[in-house]
Amino acid sequence: MQSTRERFIVDQNVGHLARWLRFMGFDTIYYKGSKPLELLRIARREGRVILTRNSNLVEAGLDPRESGDASMEKIPILILQSQDLEDQIRQIFETIPLSSPPSPFSRFSLCNTLLQKIPKEKVRGRVPFHVFEVQEDFYYCSSCDKFYWQGTHFDRMMERIRKWQKE
């Protein structure tokens, strides 16, 4: 891959990867459809790198005569070699030059929306009482109308992300 692209679209073959890329701060769409040309069109329209384990996508999807669109040839696709999440992350970091380190936990892992920091007082009664009492920082997903905080699993997840970024 020659250009720096930090926007991804993943297909069903690597769906679990989407959540972890979002945890790391990458703008990542999870495409649940089954139409390769639609996946390609979304990637082209939004300037995204396709991450997949489906090697047939390259062969079938990038024939401009089939798609009727010669620009489909320019869509970057990374065929991930492993089913293992850590190997997939490693391959992405080794293959795609990143312009700057991502901002971990800046996106909601379920929908990809950028999280907004919200004053603690605004979450009173909207998060479990114990969470409200022990946490100071809260984040809000305007798309899902959900709140997020750094729970007990946060340190383990950050350790994993730091490890991937160093490799």
Reported pTM: 0.83
Q: Is the pLDDT of residue 166 over 70?
A: yes
Residue 107 maps to a domain? no
Averaged pLDDT for residues 37-54: 92
- Please compute the mean of the pLDDT values over residues 43-57 and round it to a whole number: 90
Parent domain of 61: 7-95
Q: What is the pLDDT of residues 26-42, one digit of tens each?
A: 999 999 998 888 999 99
pLDDT at 3: 39
Looking at the structure of the chain, the number of domains it has is 2
Residues 88 and 123 in one domain: no
Cβ–Cβ < 8 Å for 10, 21: yes
- Report pLDDT digits (tens) over 55-106: 877 665 444 444 555 555 578 899 999 999 999 999 998 898 877 767 889 9
Mark which of 63, 95, 127 sits at the end of a domain.
95
**Vertex 125: Cα angle to 124 and 126 (nearest 5):** 90
Shared domain check, 87 and 11: yes
CB–CB of 142/115 below 8 Å?
no
* Residues 121 and 88 grouped into a single domain: no
